[in-house]
Amino acid sequence: MDLMEPISVERSKISYEDFLARCDEWNAAEWVDGEVINMTVSADHTDLNIWLTAILRAYLENFRLGRVFADPFQMKTGPELPGRAPDVCVLLTENLGRLQKNHIEGPADLVIEIVSPESIGRDRGEKFAEYEAGGVREYWIIDPLRKQADFHLRGEDGYFHPAFGDGDGIYRCTVVENLWIEIDWFWRSPLPAVMEVFRAWKLV
């Protein structure tokens, strides 16, 4: 099958196991209540996704803290929850036992979703509730259209609570040790060069 051809998906329900066995046939898709939901994204969305993946991968590898994964890699946070493909997610070294051949079985430690016009309700509603219920420890929602970044931390009560940047416009990640990011980086056009970020982080 040519991966670049449009994909026609029957509406009959399939198991998550069948979805995983066939998911290499879909460019980007998620499994929700037995149905395959195809995703589309813009060029700007893709640029931000690739950029975040690149800088986080370098940071995690440099400090041997874990691994980063990007859409369409799957994450299934619980048996009764959908199979999602977060835009970017981080699995810390101590939790790499959750990593399977083609998905994460259980929650990633950090999950990042980049909002598209068609995904606003899903990212802020359905996925928010699912990631919260599934045990994701930190959830970022990045909305380039509104130039808004929302950060959420899982509390001891099992619910997400908002987290905020400091007065200098820097957000300091709780889950990934010593990781920080300038919130305005998300809105730059073009995005900061990867080497610029590495210098700011003193990786080079």
- Amino acid 141 reads I
Question: Rounded CA gap, 143 and 55, in Å?
Answer: 19
Domain ranges of the chain: 42-200
172-185 tens-digit pLDDT:
999 999 999 999 99
pLDDT of residue 14: 75
Query: What is the rounded distance in angstroms from the CA atom of residue 49 to the CA atom of residue 204?
Result: 22
Q: Among 9-13, 55-59, 84-88, 102-106, whose mean pLDDT is lowest?
A: 9-13
What mean pLDDT value characterizes the chain?
87
Flag the least confident range among 1-10, 90-99, 105-114. 1-10
* pTM of the shown model: 0.82
Architecture label for domain 42-200: Alpha-Beta Complex (3.90)
Q: Tell me what percent of the residues of the chain surpass a pLDDT of 70.
A: 85
Question: Where does 52-119 show beta strands of DSSP type E?
Answer: 66-70, 74-76, 83-84, 88-92, 103-105, 110-114
Q: What is the pLDDT of residues 18-35, one digit of tens each?
A: 777 766 544 566 667 767
